[in-house]
Copies of this chain bind each other. A is one copy, B any other.
Amino acid sequence: MNTPNSPIADVQNTVDTRHIAINKVGIKSIRHPIKVQDKSTGVQHTIAMFNMYVGLPHNFKGTHMSRFVEILNSHEREISVENFPVMLRDMVAKLEAETGHIEMNFPYFINKTAPISGVQSLMDYDVTFIGDICHGEIATSVKVVVPVTSLCPCSKKISEYGAHNQRCRIEAKVRMKSRIWIEEIVRYLEKAASTEVFAVLKRPDEKYVTEAAYDNPKFVEDIVRDLALLLDGDDRISWFTINSENFESIHNHNAFAELTRDKR
């Protein structure tokens, strides 16, 4: 134990003799306000959940957890997403590490226009920025989750009338060679569905999306394949993993399809 006037011991900084390096060590599930660049309105304010880790060499007993949180608090109140690579460099510098990893998950809002009435409303999407730094080299990817409608081709084909449909969740994680807007990735995912969804639909819009879904039936298999074709066609994307999950309206379980592609 400390005697009252001694300097406070730095336990984390002591030597470790187990000879075991740790891949990732840091803080998990901390919330902080952020600012994200928005294709249409310039900037939007939102709230992110962060995970921040560094690699720990075998000879150190522990990392300094408070420094991770200090990085979050070292900017103005809101962290700007443009600073994401800066945060990665900062983190490995302040923690004297060679590798680092940051995940930053936040709701992102896009103002959508209903297809017939033209009424506008905000839709929320789940977005995650994932960054890795290794000896100064940075690699980032983006994950976007988009709710859509899927309508079952089998149910449509075999039934006299109607077809079961449901909310479906499409997820894409992509690595890029050059910048793509969140809005562009969201569009790819919405185009791969039976139809996209909206926060406000007036009756003429509801008629439109109902018929549009019926005209465009898709299995979860179709959704990931059509999305793969769209992402294959965008040269800015070098790698992706995508999945589609139906909250089946006729079951209490989900239908799921997943596909990974390295374009290099």
- Copies of this chain, count: 4
Offer 21 A-B interface pairs, CB within 8 angstroms, sorted by A.
A9-B154, A9-B157, A11-B158, A12-B154, A22-B257, A22-B259, A24-B258, A51-B256, A63-B221, A73-B122, A73-B200, A149-B249, A154-B206, A158-B207, A158-B210, A159-B210, A159-B211, A164-B213, A167-B252, A197-B249, A249-B249
Could you list which residues of chain A lie within 8 angstroms of chain B, going by C-beta atoms?
Answer: 1-2, 4, 8-12, 16, 18, 20, 22-33, 41, 44-47, 51, 53, 56, 61-63, 65-66, 69-70, 72-73, 77-78, 107, 109, 111, 119-124, 147, 149, 151-167, 195, 197-204, 206-207, 209-211, 213-214, 219-222, 224-226, 228-229, 245, 247-260
Question: Contact partner of A202 among B16, B66, B200, CB < 8 A?
Answer: B66
Query: How distant is A243 from chain B, measured CB to nearest CB, in Å?
Result: 8
B199 touches A158 (CB 8 A): no
Q: Do A166 and B167 form a contact, CB below 8 Å, given A8-B204, A47-B47, A257-B22?
A: yes
CA distance A207 to B163 in the complex (A): 9
Are A27 and B162 closer than 8 Å at their CB atoms?
no
Do B61 and A219 touch (CB < 8 A)?
A: yes
CB of A16 within 8 A of CB of B147, answer no
Asked whether B120 lies within 8 Å of A221 as measured between CB atoms, the reply is no
Q: Which residues of B contact A2 (CB under 8 A)?
A: 157-160, 207
B164 touches A22 (CB 8 A): no
Question: Are B256 and A225 in contact, with the CB atoms below 8 A?
Answer: no
Chain B contacts for A255, CB-based, 8 A: 26-28, 65
Report how far A41 CA is from B253 CA in the complex, Å.
Answer: 24
Q: How far is the CA of A199 from the CA of B254 in the complex (A)?
A: 10
> Which residues of chain B have C-beta atoms less than 8 A from A197's C-beta?
248-252
Contact of A124 among B31, B77, B164 (CB under 8 A): B31
